Structure 1
């Protein structure tokens, strides 16, 4: 019989002040919308996701009549959808209770019919890319056996690629002649190579691999029919930059855009310019780059975070913007320069929060960038929560976060660390964790923790470490390897026992782990042992809260139970919250409940309640 683990307290309220209680909850429940996508040849047909119903679901928006319609309605929500280029069909990914394993279905944009299998001949699996044309559909599927890529045309579906290695459908040319795929046949899914094949016969048109440790990502083909130029992100110069690859001529042009940080981009509709998004020190800025003149023009986006941007057929740029103090809005910048709100969700806008400031701390691998926010009231040194981001190849940004805000409301200072492994600081910084994941990141967290205590910001006896996914993994690892630093830990959907996690997780993550650790657990057992939280579980001294989803394919439940069983054997101070979803929840009420549990657990651990 499995161990019955203690459940955490579920508080009815966090704050005695009704206004404060309503404010933190409203930040989560206020309706929000994502950046709309649109049909390539019917741009009035648009699609977005919203939490307006209380669950994140897909919505259709007919711009010609300004009518909005909820498309999906599933208990655990739906996040992945797109439109056929003619605007007639909505495709969305149908998994089971957040397990990420399923198939694409489709239904009419206008509604009136139940969803149907989009490609009945394609087996279920984890999604690995989708390319929709008028005559051609390409779809990628990942299973425990590896990756399979399929192409459907003229009523017939054909598997044209299969590999034990990670691969994906990356981009379909505008005239539907060419298909770009990303693959890791060289054995490193973290640094993929590219191949372009003909949709008629699947002959290889071109190949590109930049060598060991240098990845390539196909972003989009030119929007002009007959134009075989492919926009590619590369890292030849130790950071993410752009090049244009004419795949039929097999010639390329690196774009030398003089901006700090890292950049990505997309085409303007006439293919003579690119929309550039620059990420630098936790903030995003937008530019137009004219290809003929190599002229870079700022779009004057305010300092903060851009959560997505795209160019409409008329040249206007739609984007989602926020900063730490101001909740997100979907905005549009017209070709003439006017900037306005594009979509106003129903109901009240989410209450704002506090700004973040930058701190650069000397660490063993170089300066570590941290984002610091402090409560409106409070006497230093403050109880402090170190929120460790997931990924690991992600970053904390100057963006609005209802989660960060509630910790501030609860009286904590918040420290977010862009440790080695984070994106936006160059390839060497991102890849510095190879062969020693977890322990490397925690060296940077320790350096920032030392600064926070020595500067007088943080009370050394009231520091909490928290995170979800990779951040949850780092949290458990920190509690075992740095027990003297932490008064409590909150680990959401973590890796807790890496060997068991590897055995149970989805194959794309196994491929990622092999590239990150230098092999599988059978090939480099000592690395997995050294970097696994369960190795250090007997050192854990602080109270620990673990949250996990029953259907999580990324951080599966069995390995978490192994860790909890070890805590139980030691009669450690811990609690476990288990919920019926996958790698997090798309249900707003569930998110609010989990947040209340987490903050209440930490407040009690540091004597704030």
Structure 2
């Protein structure tokens, strides 16, 4: 915030970015008064330690580009955090005492890498650390204080640490040795790396069913592992006894995707249910087989945890109401001081018939506005993610400036069943854009959107779809704004981190050398000469997911034919954790749109 601008002078859209906010606090299993959370209180997202008994909070990390990857040890003695360079996601784990003190390297003997999971032992000296590199694939180590790291797993395909059992005797690993990076299998090993149990629903890669680790039972000597499965076409939990092999299918009567975690006594599960872009919570009693709803307001719960006293804390928001950490006691758990975040407008739902079935879209527009309006089609990243009825400062800013905002849960999105999520293979990008086109046509025909003032935008995978859409649907869009996009799919594949290469091989059926026609058909660079709309691109110089060289290739092609475009490059990775930088980027995006649209929307204020 500049000295010249007071809070009273600041527009609401900027306040939504600057207002202090907090994540759901993580708490130490054996010291529940010790918690760790993320906040932007200083203007940069960093980790904070919170002693609930004394009420003391302190900033634990302080880096120019921010820190969000951290974990509290079960005894509450240590804060582990991942130290990369300027957002490149390649680095080492460090730790510091909970009460403060010097950072130290947490895994001496391990070279820098991309992280692939972390689990900390209750003995205060043991960790299971996953690493990913281009040369080694995935390796997993058992690390003990004072000892050399012990390699317990290695494979060329992607894998990750799932969990460490309560007594430290069992380690769950998610792996994709079968070559399908979208659907993991599970292996449980001992601390020496020897196998205890295997579970694989992929059937050798012919059946697209995945598994995920949700956590070991929090009881000493208990071999029960809570996992997620897709055997009935959506995510559901089951309990797997990894020693006896017994599987207890919970068969919860809920229509959407279902996840869960243990209550601290291991007798019940905290169930998170996501359906049609909303979510709610339940308690499931394992002995009585009883499911009880936990009251939460309408909207979305983006994280929840059961405390030792059986209360539940959860992070809740809606499109209209900013996020807040609540408790089932009725209290607000963690309310940061300072500027309060202004609300926005609620979303409405639209269901549009598309080539693959009904498409769910979420619509926001200025209160009382009557169309046709300048409209922003804001495409989510992932692609295995979804937009929801949750608070988002970016769309709210566009609404403040007179735009309607349409967010689309195209094929590939989660929350609508396994078949919807898995529909992308081989015609990557083109399938999603068929759904985007259907919703675009509906928005125009319904009178919501002005066909001469349509902005296609998105970040990451949404940025990729933006560039691909501008080239394959050149008459449909007035302006394109692509944030950290894939622009040249072949170069992106060769430059990106190894885990994303594995995902691309799964989506497209091979490498660029093996299936060149599929990479070409799905690459925005193929269609760059057909782009008619002005293009704005922002990119992180250190981005390992959508690397800068492939973006430069695309931009050079635009420049070669003098196509209208602007590029903003900044010194960070896949997005920024600095509030000023986020505000700057959105201001530049809105100003670009305003320059290239008919003068009906309000320009952003400085």
Normalised TM-score (structure 2): 0.96
Rounded to whole Å, the distance in 1 between the matches of 2:531 and 2:254 is 44
- The structure 2 residue matched to 1:421, chosen from 377, 394, 412, is 412
Match of 1:9 in 2: none
Q: Provide the residue aligned with 2:150 in structure 1.
A: 158
Q: Which of 17, 21, 45 is 1:32 aligned to?
A: 21
Deviation at 1:314, TM superposition (A): 1.1
Cα distance in structure 1, aligned partners of 2:260 and 2:426: 31
The answer to whether 1:568 aligns with 2:559 is yes
Residues 60-459 of structure 1: matches in 2 within 5 Å?
60-111=49-100, 113-133=101-121, 134=123, 135-145=125-135, 146-153=137-144, 155-156=146-147, 157-199=149-191, 201-211=192-202, 212=205, 213-333=208-328, 338-459=329-450
Identify the residue that residue 40 of structure 2 maps to in structure 1: 51
Distance 1:332 1:555 in 2: 38
Where 2:331 maps in the other structure, the secondary structure is strand
- Return the offset for 1:603: 2.0
Q: Cα deviations across residues 225-270 of structure 1 (Å, max 9, x unaligned)? A: 1110000001011111111100011111111000111010100111
**Contact in 2 for aligned 1:56/1:587 (Cα 8 Å):** yes
Give the match's secondary structure for 1:339. coil
- Which secondary structure does the structure 1 equivalent of 2:413 belong to? coil
CA positional deviation for 1:600: 1.4
The whole-number CA distance in structure 2 between the counterparts of 1:283 and 1:353 is 17
Q: Per the alignment, in what secondary structure is the counterpart of residue 196 of structure 1?
A: strand
Give how far 1:56 is off: 0.1
Give structure 1 stretches of 5+ with no counterpart. Answer: 1-11
Partners of 1:358 and 1:202 lie apart in 2 by: 49
Secondary structure of the corresponding residue to residue 69 of structure 1: strand
CA contact (8 A) 2:377 2:457 kept: yes
Shift of 1:459: 0.6
CA distance in 2, matches of 1:400, 1:190: 28
CA–CA distance in 2 between the matches of 1:401 and 1:57? 19
- Aligned residue pair count: 589
Contact 2:153 2:193 in 1 (8 A): no
5+ long unaligned stretches in structure 2: none
CA distance in 2, matches of 1:457, 1:378: 10
| Contact preservation (8 Å) 1:377, 1:411 | no
Q: How does 1:474-489 map to 2 (within 5 A)?
A: 474-489=465-480
Deviation (angstroms), 1:377: 4.7
Q: Which has the higher contact order (CA 8 A, sep 6+)?
A: 1
For residues 378-406 of structure 1, the C-alpha deviation after alignment (integer angstroms, 9 at most, x for no partner) is 44111100000000000000001110110
Q: Secondary structure of 1:149's match?
A: strand
